[in-house]
Amino acid sequence: MKYDEYDLWVSENAYGRVREVLELMEEYGGARAIYESSRFPKWKREINRFSGAMEAAEKNGIGICGIYDEDYPDMLRYIDDPPYILYYKGRLPVENKGMCSVVGSRKATGYGRTMAYDIGKILGSHGVTVVSGMALGADACAHRGCIDGGGITAAVLGSGADLCTPLSNLKLRDKIIDSGGCIISEFTPGTPGYAANYPRRNRIISGMSESLIVVEADNKSGTSITANLALEQGRDVYALPGNINSVMSRGTNRLIKEGAVPLISLEDLLEEIVPDQPENRKCMRELSDDEYDVIEYVSSRGSVSVNELCENFVKTVNDISVILTVLEMKGCILNENGKIIIAK
Amino acid sequence: MVSFIHSCTMSGAEAEIIRVECDMAPGLPVISVVGLPDAVVKESKERLRSAIINSGIEFPWNRRITINLSPAGTRKEGTHFDLPMALGLMMSEYGIRSVSGEMVVIGELSLDGSIIPVDKAFPLCVAVREKGIKKVMLPAGNLNETIIIEGMEFYPVEDFVQAHDFIIGKTVIEPVEGRRCEETAGIQKENDVDFYEVTGREYEKRAIEISVGGFHHIMFSGPPGSGKSMMAKRIPTVLPEMTYEEMLEVNKLYRLFGNPDRNDRLLHKRPFRAPGGNVSMSALLGGGNGIPRPGEITLAHNGVLFLDEMPEFRRDVIEALRQPLEDEYITISRAGGKITYPCKFILVGARNPCPCGYYGDVTHKCTCTCMQIKRYRERISGPIMDRFDIVLELSNECEGERNGRIISSGEMKRNICKARKIQNERYRKETIRFNSQLSGRMMKKYCNLKREAADFYREGCEKLGVSRRGEDKILKVARTVADMAECEDIEIIHLAEAFQFRKRKDDSFEI
């Protein structure tokens, strides 16, 4: 094994002073020497924990990748404070066609979730690696979309790579690994997902790729933090515009105001992030006139309720319900929390 | 000489006919009452002795008297055993074996020999009628409440002498026939609310129409202010009139316990019960000390039970609804006895999408964590959620101009009655009365789909990810939609509408 428990110990303590640590490594010629020199009395010297973590990593099939290793993500190496060591499960992504980070709120609306899925799918199908945080909501949708599009996806966790946070995404995690992607974390195996870990994790998400797409976010949310980190790291930040009344679009709309690139159509995505041939997303399956009118109206309003439709078209609930069911079956619309939105 | 006379007692909502047996033998003047009498019934021997003497009738002083209330194993309670016991005693003395014709006697004696009204006269008479017995001797003071019970012959008595003379054949009491009172059926209090006031909510109103029309349980889920309670409050305005039999049954249940004011008007409107979130298990299902009392679900029989903010109820209380919802009756076992009450009601539930109420709302920020939301939704378990045929998600409507037609309660009620009439007709030979009660076997018979409709149904279930149980619910709701349109066959449009009322997969917290 290339790394020993002393490296893990250094890594755990290196956050915020990586450059300094790297110089010291040169000076002392190894992590063990630093440990024995007692140069940093404030660093916790519980080396047994790290030998335990080494064993845990081995047992769980977790790989260790140092900052000078070849498979260390390239873009990440040049951010201000890169992780000294990355733990990973699965295969680290190879940057053949680039990487793109997609993040969004855990409480994303149906709009956010479908868009995250679609973006993930398009990127995945064009060979772009999607990096996200495997959180509930938008993140999970982005991963899922990428896998469904046949792509490779990387999930960066705020806990040790041996744990699954949140636990309810266990199936998704296995799917990510099975599909050739990986789980990445800079935290020593066994570290629980403390809230304080998440800003650290977010810098890796934004740091790994050249662009970041923010799907939905409220002001002052973890997603907004990621966006700010990406700007500091000099990444291209794309934000999905939303209804200005929608709480979940406040953050993204503000990002646009502050200079993020609005992602106004999925074709844009293909042009800007994937320089490949565009694909026509709208497949208008044979729609009747009524159905077409409803679709037009829903897309003009963003989200509408059944009552609004009844009143706008001066039809009875029965008639509207029939149209809606057929449209749902055709996969054109979704009903979310009593509101009807465009599915694709 | 042994004499027999009939009286009755309530066992749950049913009457049990009690044979009051009286025997006399020479001996010291002791009266012993056997056959599980409660304290009130035991005391009655003191009353009846005084009442007989004060009526000027010779009391058999030199007799040992035994009164048995048969079947001896049933607990008896209530003051209405005074009169049959006193009559039985005198019959025994005169050597009269029994009264001709099947007659039930109830009444409480006063020490001066007058007969005073009893509390449970109404439920007793209704229950006796269900047993097929027509003649009842009862206190004259109870006549004005029981007179509306059709098909009964009442023998009202003012005092013990009158009853005594009648039994020994000395005088005749003209029986009063119970008759349906037209004027009572006519008094419908005007509703002070109406669905007409609810504008821009035609979708929800339609759902209520279908729910009431086919007896489907319905759940509203929406943020505060989206009109859940407002809509529920107006449900009584669209409930069809009770039939005469239903009216009797409901009033019987209401008067089983309490209701001291005998001149109280009878209930003519279907009950609408809305217990609060802190309701206890025994208040909801029935129970309490001694003989279990009917709970809210029984009081909602033939009507509507509205549980507002359902996740705020105690979880075990909600879970306990499973069996009564399935069986339409509730059996309560207590030390005081095992009792069955009917409880057939439409369950109307309401809940918020999350603890703070604003998840999914565009105007407010939801402050709950994902875990809180997940836990909140799990407070109503899957099996209970499964009982709801219609799950409606409401959103806060934006104000806008109203072009559409606004349906009023009257119109909704007409549609509902139409659908119910068709169902009554169709299920005449079955044990059920409504579409929601259809079993798997009956569904094959009554919900047959033509070829295209069947294709559409299958495709819809598959494409929209409907579970097996969900498929059945859609078919039942579609049956009601078709009934409302007065169509014999379920067609595509009916299915399509029914699909809109299904419970949608709540996947936001599972991925």
pLDDT of residue A292: 86
* Residue B427 sits in the same domain as residue B443: no
Confirm whether B42 is domain-assigned.
yes
The predicted-structure confidence for B284-316, as pLDDT tens digits, reads as follows 998 887 778 889 999 999 999 999 999 999 999
Tokens 């979704």 belong to which residue?
A334
Instruction: Tell me, yes or no, whether A145 and A254 share the same domain.
Output: yes
CB within 8 Å of B100: residues ≥ 6 apart: none
Q: What is the pLDDT of residues B86-114, one digit of tens each?
A: 999 999 999 999 887 789 999 999 999 99
Interface test with B, best of A318, A330, A333, A340 (most B CBs within 10 A): A318
CA distance B394 to B376: 17
For residue B464, give how far its alpha carbon lies from the nearest alpha carbon of chain A (Å): 6
Which of A29, A44, A59 is the last residue in one of the domains?
Answer: A59
Would you say residue B189 lies in a domain? no
| Residue from the list B202, B353, B403 with its beta carbon closest to the beta carbon of A337 | B353
Mean pLDDT of chain B: 88
**Same domain flag for A142 and A220:** yes
What's the domain count of chain A? 3
- Please identify which residue in the block is written with the tokens 């990445």: A184
Average pLDDT over residues B459-474: 87
CATH of the domain at A326: 1.10.10.10
Q: Indicate the pLDDT class of residue A281, thresholds 50, 70 and 90.
A: very low
ipTM of the complex: 0.78
Residue B273 lies in a domain: yes
- Let me know whether B98 and B204 are in one domain: no
Establish if A235 belongs to a structural domain: yes
Number of structural domains found in chain B: 3
Give all strands (DSSP E) within B47-95, no chain letters.
63-70
Considering only alpha carbons, which residue of chain A is nearest residue B374? A168
Q: Contact A94/A70 with Cβ under 8 angstroms?
A: no
Residues B22 and B37 in one domain: yes
Position B336 scores a pLDDT of: 66
Q: Is position A153 within any domain?
A: yes
Stronger pLDDT, B428 or B190, i.e. the higher one:
B428
Q: Are residues B269 and B247 in the same domain?
A: yes
Residues B379 and B262 in one domain: yes
User: Residue B442 maps to which CATH number?
Assistant: 1.10.8
CATH of the domain at B341: 3.40.50.300
Q: Is the pLDDT assigned to residue B511 strictly greater than 50?
A: no
Is residue B511 one of the residues assigned to a domain? no
Residues A295, A242 within the same domain? no
* pLDDT at residue B480 in the model: 95
What is the structure's pLDDT at B288? 80
- Judge if B412 and B326 occupy the same domain: yes
- Based on the domain organization, do A16 and A156 belong to the same domain? no
pLDDT digits 0-9 by tens, B162-180: 999 999 888 999 999 988 8
Residues B367 and B445 occupy one common structural domain: no
Q: What is the pTM of this model?
A: 0.73
In a domain, A282, yes or no: no
pLDDT tens digits along A302-332:
788 888 888 888 888 888 888 998 888 888 8
List CB contacts (< 8 A) between B226 and chain A. 338
Predicted local distance difference test score (pLDDT) of residue B399? 59
Which is more confidently placed, B371 or B4? Answer: B4
Looking at the structure, do residues A188 and A322 belong to the same domain, yes or no? no
Cβ–Cβ below 8 Å for B459 and A247: no
With respect to residue B184, please indicate whether it lies within any of the assigned structural domains. no
Q: Of B145, B177, B209, which marks where a domain is finished?
A: B177
Measured distance CA(B425)–CA(B419) in Å, rounded: 10
- Tell me, yes or no, whether A303 lies in a domain: yes
Tell me, yes or no, whether A21 and A105 share the same domain: no
**CB pair distance less than 8 Å for B359 and A337:** yes
Task: Check CB contact of B400 with chain A, cutoff 8 Å.
Answer: yes
B33 and B119 in a single domain? The answer is yes
Segment A302-305 long-range contacts (CB within 8 Å, at least 24 positions apart): A302/A111, A302/A243, A302/A341, A303/A111, A303/A243, A303/A336, A303/A339, A303/A340, A303/A341, A303/B362, A304/A339, A304/A340, A305/A338, A305/A339, A305/A340, A305/B203, A305/B395, A305/B397
State whether B370 and A107 contact (CB < 8 Å).
Answer: yes
What does the radius of gyration of chain B's CA atoms come to, in whole angstroms? 28
Q: Does B455 touch chain A (CB under 8 A)?
A: no
Predicted pLDDT at A289: 85
Domain membership flag for residue A156: yes
Phi, psi of B37 (to 5 degrees): -80, 150
Same domain, B452 and B428: no
* Statement to judge: residues A125 and A224 lie in one domain: yes
* One domain for residues B154 and B248: no
Domain of B298?
A: 195-397+407-432
Residues A315, A166 share a domain: no
Chain A residues whose C-beta sits inside 8 Å of any chain B C-beta: 106-107, 109, 113, 136-137, 140-141, 144, 166, 168-169, 172, 218, 243, 245-247, 303, 305-308, 310-312, 314-318, 320-322, 324-326, 328-329, 331, 335-339
Q: Is residue A75 part of a domain?
A: no
Quick one: pLDDT at residue B506?
65
Same domain, residue pair B328 and B215: yes
Tens-digit pLDDT profile for residues A227-278:
988 988 888 899 999 988 888 899 999 999 988 889 888 877 777 776 544 3
Is A243 part of a structural domain of the chain?
A: yes
CA-angle at B246, arms to B241 and B248, nearest 5° = 115
Identify whether residues A112 and A202 lie together within a single domain.
yes
Where does the pLDDT of residue B466 fall: very low under 50, low under 70, confident under 90, or very high at 90 and above?
confident
**Residue B123 sits in a domain of what CATH number?**
3.30.230.10
pLDDT digits (tens, 9 = 90+) for B196-223: 888 888 889 999 999 999 999 999 998 8
Q: What is the pLDDT of residues B324-343, one digit of tens each?
A: 998 899 999 887 678 899 99
What the block records as the tokens of B279 is 């309701």
| Domain match, A26 and A149 both | no
- pLDDT, tens digit (0-9, with 9 covering 90-100), for A87-145: 999 988 876 678 899 999 998 888 999 999 999 998 888 888 999 999 999 999 999 99
User: Can you tell me the mean pLDDT for B457-472?
Assistant: 87
Mutate: best of A105, A285, A329, A340, partner B, most B CBs <10 A: A329
A318 and A262 housed in the same domain: no
* Residue B398 in this model has a pLDDT that exceeds 80: no
Domain that holds residue A154: 99-272
> In this structure, is residue A281 part of a structural domain?
no
Contact present, B12 and B51 (Cβ < 8 Å):
no
Determine contact, residues B461/B452, Cβ cutoff 8 Å: no
Domain boundary among B177, B207, B233: B177
Rg, chain A, Cα only: 23
Identify whether B186 is part of a domain. no
The answer on B256 and B365 residing in a single domain is: yes
Residue A206: give its domain's CATH number: 3.40.50.450
Does residue B505 carry a pLDDT above 90? no
- Residue B409 pLDDT > 70: yes
Tens of pLDDT, residues A30-53: 888 888 887 777 777 788 888 888
Interface of B with A in 32-91 (CB under 8 A): none
Task: Report the residue of chain A nearest B482, measured CA to CA.
Answer: A318
B500 with A321: Cβ contact below 8 A: yes
Mean pLDDT score of chain A, rounded to an integer?
A: 86
Q: Where does the pLDDT of residue B422 fall: very low under 50, low under 70, confident under 90, or very high at 90 and above?
A: very high
